[in-house]
Amino acid sequence: MKNNHSETRLRTPALWLLLWSLLASTSATAQVEPTLDAREREMVNWLQSREGEMLSLLERLTNINSGSLNKAGIDEIATIFADELRQLGFNVSSLPGEVISMPSCPGNNYNVDVADHLLASKAGDSSRLLLMGHMDTVFPPESPFQSFRRQGDIMSGPGVADMKGGMVVMLYALKALQEFNALNELSVSVLLNSDEEMGSLSSRKYLEEQARQHDWGLVYESSGTGNLTRQRKGLGQARVVVNGRASHAGGAHEQGRSAIKELAYKIVEIENMTDYESGVTVNVGLVSGGEARNTVAPCAEAFIDLRYPEPQQGEVAAERFEEIFNQVYSYPVDSGEITAESWVNLHRPPKIPTPESDYLLEKARSIGRLLGQELGVTDSGGGTDGSLTQAVGLPTQDSLGVAGTGAHSNREQARVSSLVERAQLSAVLIQRLAAETP
């Protein structure tokens, strides 16, 4: 009883504080944007009549396979955007990709050969906007999911939502600005990377460099059901390769040192790092190893995914990974017969809202209301390049792309009408942000 009383006393002021902060935040964020001016109304109407064009461009892009490792396909997508952006007055250059090396068992190759990225920019007399998208998808050329389909207001295909649809939205917002002579005066860069689906391991440095040279960041990832995302978890990935000693499973079992057995111990330790309460989750998503049923496995490897809400939790998890990778659980530690190679990369910091990014979010929502779009706000466990740019100080709004679901699966689809809606939202948002410095 005593405990309950003191709890109640504590809770009451806390409740008031919560109510007060809710009220305060409501009034702070009830940003009201001026109604659309004549040019904005013209852009909105013009975009309304472009749905057919947007759809045929998206169909063309979707039917080009651009899985992250398909350099030729990604280059083809880059060429289409390079041409379009040049026509809008942008200077276009390509930023070199590179080979990212990761440890692997003999015979496997996890080195990642990243295609070049595309940077287009134009100078102008406004605050500096950085528009971002990724050209790659998770679907390799061998995937059965390859082509664009449309049925009524639903379109499906690899990348319609994640995020070729978003790149079409971005392009048409710029085209609308150009059509009504508003693009000339704007200072805008477009960065389309080719490795987002692998964690932007090569493009990160370009994203961060560009983020430091701009005032506002807009990312055209899919928006799920049509909301805007405010906050995101951080992401990490790790690979561990365990080396043991091969031996005949019958004739000389005792001479073998099973890499699979050792990896199994490590997997349990790794999986046990998941803590739903703190929001940290770890997933051993890929495992392989061994040579034959009757051979003690000389090598085994695992690929691991990490999600974390706070930057510090990422650091702690990365240290714990190293501890687990370096410890030997299955055989005497000092025998030296079991070794491990590993690679750990915290590739996306958490996206933590700032007053500037909240301002940007509310500005987008307020413009949405002017356009008759009620945009909800969600948080996400998935990361985007917006997490990278926001972490180096660029107020960034992501999920400005089409309303879509089922990303990374053959159920990927998006709402056709969101192409025009989102392009209208972006055209007005870009126009108005250009006049403001955070």
Catalog residues that contact Zn ion under the rule CB under 5 A: 162-163, 221
As measured in angstroms, the least distance from the Cβ of 406 to Zn ion is 13
Question: 143: Cβ–Cβ under 8 A, 6 or more apart, which residues?
Answer: 65, 67, 158, 410
How many CB atoms sit inside 10 A of residue 318's CB?
Answer: 17
Cite the beta strand spans of 65-212 per DSSP E. 91-95, 99-100, 112-113, 117-122, 128-134, 149-151, 154-156, 187-193
| Amino acid letter, residue 318 | A
Q: How far is the CB of 279 from Zn ion (least distance, A)?
A: 22
Report in angstroms how near the CB of residue 161 gets to Zn ion at its nearest. Answer: 8
CB of 221: closest distance to Zn ion in angstroms?
5
Select from 62, 67, 196, 63 the least CA-distant residue to 142. Answer: 67
Give the shortest CB-437-to-Zn ion separation in angstroms: 29
Q: Which is nearer to Zn ion, 41 or 411 (CB)?
A: 411
Residue 231 CB-density burial (10 A; 0-12 exposed, 13-18 middle, 19+ buried): middle
> What DSSP string describes 271-288?
HTT-BTTTTBEEEEEEEE
Asked if 57 and 73 touch (Cβ cutoff 8 Å), the reply is no
Residues 309, 320: Cα–Cα separation, whole Å: 17
Q: Which CB atom, from 92 or from 138, has the smaller least distance to Zn ion?
A: 138
Residue 163 CB, shortest distance to Zn ion, in Å, is: 4
In whole angstroms, how close is the CB of 219 to Zn ion at the nearest point? 9
Query: Nearest approach, Cβ of 162 to Zn ion (angstroms)?
Result: 4
Nearer to Zn ion, 195 or 221 (CB): 221
List beta partners, residue 239. 303, 343
Rounded-to-integer distance, Cα 85 and Cα 93, Å? 11
Q: How far is the CB of 336 from Zn ion (least distance, A)?
A: 43
* Number of residues that this document lists for the chain: 438
Judged by beta carbon, residue 224 or residue 349, the one nearer Zn ion is 224
* Comparison of 143 and 184: residue with beta carbon closer to Zn ion: 143
Q: Between 84 and 221, whose beta carbon lies closer to Zn ion? A: 221
Q: Which residue is nearest to Zn ion (CB)?
A: 162
- Distance CA(152)–CA(164), nearest Å, equals 19
| Cβ-based nearer residue to Zn ion, 313 or 399 | 399
Is 164 in contact with 398 (CB distance < 8 Å)? no
Nearer to Zn ion among residue 158 and residue 244 (C-beta): 158
Q: Radius of gyration (Cα) for the chain, nearest Å?
A: 25
Nearer to Zn ion, 192 or 360 (CB): 192
* DSSP character at residue 33: P
